[in-house]
Amino acid sequence: QHAAERELRAAVEEHRAQGGTVILLEPWSGEILAMANWPTFNPNAFSRYPVWQHRNRAIQEIYEPGSTFKIVTASAALEERLVDPADVIDVSAGAIRLGARVIDDVHRYDRLSFTDVIVKSSNVGAVRIGLKLGAERLGRYVRRFGFGQTLSPDFRGESPGIVWDPARLDDSALASVSMGYQVGVTPLQMAAAVASIANGGELVQPRVVRAIGRGPQRVETERRVLRRTVSPRTAAVLTGIMEAVVERGTARAARLDDYQVAGKTGTAAKLVDGRYSRSDYIASFVGFVPSRRPALVVLVVLDSPRRGGYYGGQVAAPVFKRIAEAALRHLGVPPTINPVPPVLVAARRDDGPQPTPAVATRLHPSVLRPVRQGTMPDLAGLGARAALRLTARLGLHAALEGDGIVVAQEPAPGEPVEPGGACTLVLRRERPADAEARRGEGQ
């Protein structure tokens, strides 16, 4: 919380912004680890501050998210199997006409892969994807991700945002929604939606209350899944695309030295007196880290930065970097880039001879065998780290379900795979055969 408040205030002052919000969310449980707004007020002397400053921006401030919302458009297209990451999309040399309206890209491209439409944040590409989806299907995913509704019972006064009825969307309005306009969201909604990608496709209810004390009893707040947004496979593919956004796209300022990051930038012109401003923008970045086993979702929103740029990649992504570094260090999350190898120690038994070091560090044979390109290896019995190394060598985006060792996988061993594809690995604390054997011993 301190890191979020410190870095948000510094960013608002550095960029002379009207204000800003930061949210840190644990994507698996939905726990809100930090929520910061600036400017804020002292509740012990609230009468000294203007009324507008009393609002909790994180749950009450509605904004048009811009390109961070392309995550929803991309998720819908992938889930509906309308596109593959490598599919080429004609982005019309950076402009598309819808009636009298022309939608432009900041940079002009003739043709981009679906992946690069998101990596380079092409408005034209997002519009083409949205038109292919249609208003009804895109509207269904907008609702599925939690927009247009309140999410948490822990907040009074939470805004549901603004989502239009798909039946009222013509092509021009559908184009706007596809790239994050004509939809009003709260920072909490945006963070929760991206958390569902981070955790493999579940929209988890955000919460700030971990437990309630009732006399001598402590009643824990249970994790509540509101609904499934996308399949684990779609979440894994989109995670790989969002990693590329940070590695080579619009969010390179969000890169961390020791952790792989997945994220998306957003820059949206503000609606002022019924017209989109040419000077006031909402700059934002939302990402999760470490990208393959996320510990944090971090959202940064800056309102009307006036100095040092106004793009999300310029002003919001660096704030994410500083906050994420401090939070990961505080939580003790081990690095995922060039990590220190773990020390393997055999369990000590006092009732017999001790094992030699040779058997204490045995590796699964699959780790030692060369990987055959184009073919899915047998990952059964591997731990998460070893399995991820092998899938990474094949260029696959792996979604992990559970903890322990791999007990099931999709695709199956020996099936053909291609770089950029996705796979799902199910992990358990023990092999099913081991559990069965122990049950037999107990009988």
- What amino acid positions are annotated as catalytic residues? 67
Task: Map residue 339 onto helix, strand or coil.
Answer: coil
397-402 vs 422-428, strand pairing mode: parallel
- Residue 48: CB atoms within 10 Å: 9
> Distance (Å, rounded) from C-alpha 386 to C-alpha 371?
13
> Distance (Å, rounded) from C-alpha 47 to C-alpha 44?
9
- Dihedral of the CA atoms 308, 296, 85, 143 (nearest 10)? -90
Q: Please, which residues have CB within 8 angstroms of residue 157's CB and are 6 or more apart in sequence?
A: 56, 59, 60
Q: Position 218: which residue type?
A: R
CB–CB of 20/283 below 8 Å? no
Side-chain half-sphere of 42: how many Cα atoms within 13 Å? 4
Task: Output the six-digit token pair for 319.
Answer: 């704030």
SS (H, E, C) 404-420: CEEEEEECCCCCECCCC
Task: Map residue 83 onto helix, strand or coil.
Answer: coil
Number of residues assigned to the chain: 443
Task: Map residue 316 onto helix, strand or coil.
Answer: coil
> Distance (Å, rounded) from C-alpha 155 to C-alpha 172?
35
Q: What residues form DSSP beta bridges with 95?
A: 104
CB–CB of 55/61 below 8 Å? yes
- Dihedral of the CA atoms 420, 422, 428, 433 (nearest 10)? -100
> Tokens 């820059």, residue?
267
Cα Rg of the chain (Å, integer): 23
DSSP state of 148: T
Q: Please, which residues have CB within 8 angstroms of residue 413's CB and are 6 or more apart in sequence?
A: 376, 377, 378, 379, 380
- Dihedral of the CA atoms 145, 149, 155, 159 (nearest 10)? 120
Side-chain half-sphere of 297: how many Cα atoms within 13 Å? 29
